[in-house]
């Protein structure tokens, strides 16, 4: 088999399935190597060879009742394996856009064992997403066999979730085959080796049998992998507040005045900096001074949602230079892990603790942040220690080291004319909120200090009842 793998490596190289240079991955990372395994389907003999070699990796092949190829790149190979082994094929559609509204297409029975066939594994998150969809419909998944392991934490991450992964190649073994065949230089091999060493991503292990909703903030601070999140847990515990004040005001002096008033009572001050009409760097300096004086953190609710390179520029450049002063930012997960990579890149040279809140659910009526989007966002939150928490309306995750930020709070349940839905402090805390966002309930109040104190007390009372219940 080793000889055939060596021959296949050369064939893949000669058909331009393996390329070297400077590339940007879908995750927004710079990489010196790029794989385009879609070209395999244009070579029937090679496709058959790959399917045969892959099947030799299936340790529990005799107990497999279903095969699922993912992503679409590998479906033709999986179909060939299904035909040769006489084992039914399932298709994961990734969306519910088909007429049947099913994510998993095909005929199967509850409890059947399904083998995942994949092309490339990096962190393993795509495989874990497929595993969740398959297990959600009653199938069992114990194993995944793939063509290439890029050695960036995927094998470890899958094993911690109980999935055995086997691959035809690791990135290291593939490079060795190409070096032996004289297709690449030793310098390229060393460059790839360095890239592998510098790009490890291991999913966090929850490792705590106690529900995060029953743990106090001081205990959870010790479990937080993000240092800014740990700091926030400690601030909430010390100041006895879960209040995040949204100062969606357009004048700098009004924001500073409200920050001075609210500072002793809040854990976080949340801004939308692009609505400030008279923004200056001096305004930011004064805001930071107030945050230190009153021991609260600053969140810029930017909701980054672009490709990694653009997000990096938006974060650290322009007139706002958000990376320099915001302890936390928010980001949509629509772009995938590239938005996290972009924010990480934007922090180069900045030595302050920073964190990201991933927008997982929104409080507006008719929001599309539901179903698959929520599941994928939660999985994405496990891929980087830069993640401080998730913005959501319900208890969607288990990790006690992450913070649930919930917007849309009023003392009485209501909604506005633009589709914003409000819930009471008791409702949001019981639904998992650790940090609760209040905006117009304070900014529109006649007595702002009284409103701040009322929200603070109501939220803290609900939190105490939650952890003691």
Over residues 182-206, the pLDDT tens digits come to: 999 999 998 888 888 776 665 544 4
- Smallest CA-to-CA distance from 238 within 466, 465, 460, 462 is with 460
* One domain, residues 144 and 193: yes
**pLDDT grade for 257, boundaries at 50, 70 and 90:** very high
Q: Which of 136, 166, 198 is the last residue of a domain?
A: 198
C-alpha 81/C-alpha 75 separation (Å) is 10
Is 34 or 60 the better-scoring residue by pLDDT? 34
The reported pTM is 0.60
Q: Which of 160, 176, 198 is the last residue of a domain?
A: 198
Half-sphere exposure of 277 (CA within 13 A, CB side): 5
* One domain, residues 232 and 155: no
pLDDT of residue 401: 94
* One domain, residues 85 and 146: yes
pLDDT of 21 > 80? The answer is yes
Which domain covers residue 230, as residue numbers? 212-468
* One domain, residues 290 and 429: yes
- The residue whose two tokens read 């292990």 is 205
* One domain, residues 322 and 462: yes
Residue 206 lies in a domain: no
Q: Is the preceding omega at residue 71 within 30 degrees of 0, hence cis?
A: yes
Residue 11 lies in a domain: yes
pLDDT of 386 > 70? The answer is yes
pLDDT of residue 178: 94
C-alpha 127/C-alpha 425 separation (Å) is 38
Could you tell me the CATH number of the domain that includes residue 133? 3.40.50.2020
* One domain, residues 216 and 316: yes
C-alpha 275/C-alpha 174 separation (Å) is 51
Count: domains in the chain: 2
* Active-site annotation, residues: 303
* One domain, residues 216 and 126: no
Could you tell me the CATH number of the domain that includes residue 398? 3.20.20.70
User: Over the stretch 69-91, which tens digit does the pLDDT of each residue have?
Assistant: 887 788 999 999 999 999 999 99
pLDDT of residue 394: 84
- Smallest CA-to-CA distance from 334 within 315, 358, 310 is with 358
Residue 183 lies in a domain: yes
Mean pLDDT of the chain, nearest integer: 87
With a pLDDT cut of 70, the percent of the chain lying above it is 89
* One domain, residues 257 and 306: yes
C-alpha 189/C-alpha 107 separation (Å) is 45
């Amino acid at each position: 088999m080793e000889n055939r793998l060596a021959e296949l490596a050369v064939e893949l190289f000669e058909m331009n399935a393996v390329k070297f240079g400077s590339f940007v991955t879908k995750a927004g990372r710079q990489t010196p190597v790029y794989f385009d395994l879609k070209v395999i389907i244009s070579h029937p003999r090679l496709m058959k060879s790959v399917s045969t070699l892959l099947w030799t990796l299936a340790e529990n092949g005799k107990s497999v009742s279903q095969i699922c190829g993912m992503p679409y790149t590998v479906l033709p190979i999986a179909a060939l394996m299904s035909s040769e082994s006489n084992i039914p094929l399932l298709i994961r559609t990734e969306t519910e856009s088909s007429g049947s509204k099913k994510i998993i297409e095909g005929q199967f029975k509850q409890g059947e064992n399904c083998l995942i066939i994949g092309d490339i594994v990096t962190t393993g998150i795509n495989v874990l997403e497929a595993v969740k969809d398959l297990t959600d419909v009653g199938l069992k998944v114990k194993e995944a066999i793939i063509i290439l392991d890029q050695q960036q934490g995927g094998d470890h991450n899958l094993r911690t979730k109980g999935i055995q992964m086997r691959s035809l190649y690791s990135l290291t073994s593939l490079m060795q085959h190409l070096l032996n065949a004289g297709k690449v230089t030793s310098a390229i091999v060393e460059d790839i080796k360095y890239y592998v060493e510098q790009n490890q991503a291991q999913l966090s292990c929850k490792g705590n049998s106690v529900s995060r909703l029953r743990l106090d903030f001081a205990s959870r601070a010790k479990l937080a992998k993000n240092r800014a999140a740990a700091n926030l847990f400690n601030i909430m515990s010390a100041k006895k507040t879960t209040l995040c004040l949204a100062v969606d005001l357009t004048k700098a002096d009004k924001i500073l005045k409200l920050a001075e008033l609210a500072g002793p009572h809040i854990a976080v001050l949340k801004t939308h900096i692009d609505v400030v009409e008279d923004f200056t760097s001096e305004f930011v300096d004064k805001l930071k001074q107030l945050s230190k004086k009153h021991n609260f953190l600053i969140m810029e609710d930017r909701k980054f949602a672009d490709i990694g390179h653009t997000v990096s520029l938006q974060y650290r450049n322009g007139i706002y230079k958000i990376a320099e002063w915001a302890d936390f930012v928010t980001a949509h997960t629509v772009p995938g892990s590239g938005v996290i990579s972009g924010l990480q890149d934007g922090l180069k040279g900045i030595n302050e603790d920073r964190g990201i809140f991933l927008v997982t659910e929104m409080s507006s009526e008719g929001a599309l942040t539901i179903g698959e989007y929520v599941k994928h966002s939660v999985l994405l939150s496990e891929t980087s220690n830069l993640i401080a928490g998730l913005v959501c309306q319900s208890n969607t995750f288990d990790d006690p080291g992450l913070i649930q930020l919930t917007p849309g709070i009023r003392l009485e349940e209501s909604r506005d004319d633009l589709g914003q839905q409000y819930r009471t402090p008791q409702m949001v805390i019981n639904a998992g909120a650790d940090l609760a966002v209040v905006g117009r309930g304070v900014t529109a109040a006649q007595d702002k200090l009284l409103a701040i104190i009322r929200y603070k007390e109501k939220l803290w009372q609900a939190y105490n009842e939650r952890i003691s219940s």
